[in-house]
Amino acid sequence: MKNTFGNAVTLTLFGESHGSAIGAVLDGLSSGIKIDEQFIKDKLSLRRPSGDISTKRVEADEFEILSGVFNGYTTGTPLCIVIKNTNTKSKDYSEVSRLMRPSHADLTAYYRYGGYEDYRGGGHFSGRITAALVAACSVLQYALEQKGIFIGTHIKSLATINDRKFADLKEDIDALSRLVFPVLSEESAEKMKQEIVDASKQLDSVGGILETAVIGLPAGIGEPWFDTVEGLISHAVFSVPGVKGIEFGAGFDITKMRGSFANDQLEIKDEAIISKTNHSGGINGGITNGMPIIFRTAVKPTPSIFKAQQTVDIKSMQNATLELKGRHDPAIVHRARAVVDAVTALTIADMLTVSFGNSFLGE
């Protein structure tokens, strides 16, 4: 099982949903990156379950940095961060060892690991592991912000309900950093929350689309072929549980445009080259062009639902019916926001280190 992402700055994840702890190791960091533990706590709070729209499993997410930090700054050696699991109910998953949950990784994990995998709560495939990912990548996100690079994500749509579009990106990103439910329109936020509650009452779930903006990134980052900016961000984002699609800029809608409209015409403004539109999402030829990076991520409805579903008994090789027990999210799109921000920060920090050297993120 490969659990490491990155070229110059790498992240390795470890742990299981119902194991004693989860964690991450960041390697390739420069020395001199300030560690703001309150910033890490704040980012973890955006991923944590919240009320009726989330699972009843609420973990404290108290983290401990075991190595790589001294006197409040990174030392340049591997940074290891650990979060203990304190609220597990493994008995809820006694049937999952044989009854495969539809659209979960249960069956593919069984194929891949031959029945030796930890199935409790999804084991290593669980969204629980993203707490460690968010904690570790918050170190990078904080470092990026000190360099004037900011990342923000809102729920563009949930089921059939839409949020307003990004307007002033810096103001919107600032606002999103304080919102547990990341929606720019209060009216849309209330409608979305009600949609999640309604789905939960019907023993069902809903999905949505996240939209992410990155501002402050310099032009000229990325490679023209296999390490394109879109390719690396997509690689990282598709590692987030529940993600089924991604598009940049105008995305698939660009196919409906003629070239005269799709092309981002250029101009000089305040002694900088900008484009009048941003249909390319801040990237041309796999390389940043200085405009904001904009992309959208499709997050599927949570597969853990309480309605009876047809499945198979992997032990007896018979058809079976599954009536799920346990604590599950009726939607994960609002919690996935913090995870998408985290993997975006990881990817950008890695690309910048490749371009400018190991010391770039340090003070």
Phi and psi of 324, rounded to 5°? Answer: -70, 145
CATH fold for the domain made of 4-356: Chorismate synthase, AroC fold (3.60.150)
Residue 87 has pLDDT above 80, yes or no: no
Tens of pLDDT, residue by residue over 344-361, are 999 999 999 999 998 899
Question: Is pLDDT above 90 for 183?
Answer: yes
Query: Of 7, 27, 54, 70, which is closest to residue 331 (Cα–Cα)?
Result: 54
Q: Is the pLDDT of residue 31 over 80?
A: yes
Torsion of CA 43, 135, 26, 292, to 10 degrees: -20
**What average pLDDT does this structure show over 241-270?**
96
Residue 239 DSSP label? T
Between CA 15 and CA 12 the distance in angstroms is 11
Determine the Cα–Cα distance for residues 91 and 106; give it in Å rounded to an integer: 17
> What is the pLDDT, as a whole number, of residue 248?
98
Residues in the chain: 363
pLDDT for residue 65 is more than 70: yes
E strand map for 272-335: 272-275, 283-284, 287-288, 293-299, 309-313, 318-322
Q: Which tokens is 83 given? A: 């979060």
Instruction: Give the pLDDT confidence of 225-242 residue by residue, as tens digits.
Output: 999 999 999 999 999 999
* Alpha-carbon span 290 to 314, nearest angstrom: 52
Answer for the pair 94, 297: CB distance below 8 angstroms, yes or no: no
Per-residue pLDDT at 56 exceeds 80: no
* Model confidence pLDDT, tens digit, residues 94-125: 677 789 899 989 999 999 988 888 888 787 88
Q: The pTM is what?
A: 0.94
Q: Which residues pair with 26 in a beta bridge?
A: 11, 79
Residue 299 reports pLDDT greater than 90: yes
- The pLDDT of 124-133, averaged and rounded, is 90
Scanning the structure block, which residue is given the tokens 């105008």?
250
Q: Which residue has tokens 């044989």?
A: 98
> Does position 80 have pLDDT exceeding 90, yes or no?
yes
- The rounded Cα 279 to chain-centroid distance in angstroms is 23
Q: Residue 329's pLDDT is what?
A: 85
**In contact, 305 and 204? CB cutoff 8 Å:** yes
Worst-scoring range by mean pLDDT, 66-70, 116-120, 307-311? 116-120
Mean pLDDT of 203-214: 97
Give the per-residue pLDDT at 88: 67
Higher pLDDT, 118 or 319: 319
Mean per-residue pLDDT, 214-231: 96
Map out the domains of the chain as residue ranges. 4-356
Mean predicted confidence (pLDDT) in 206-223:
97
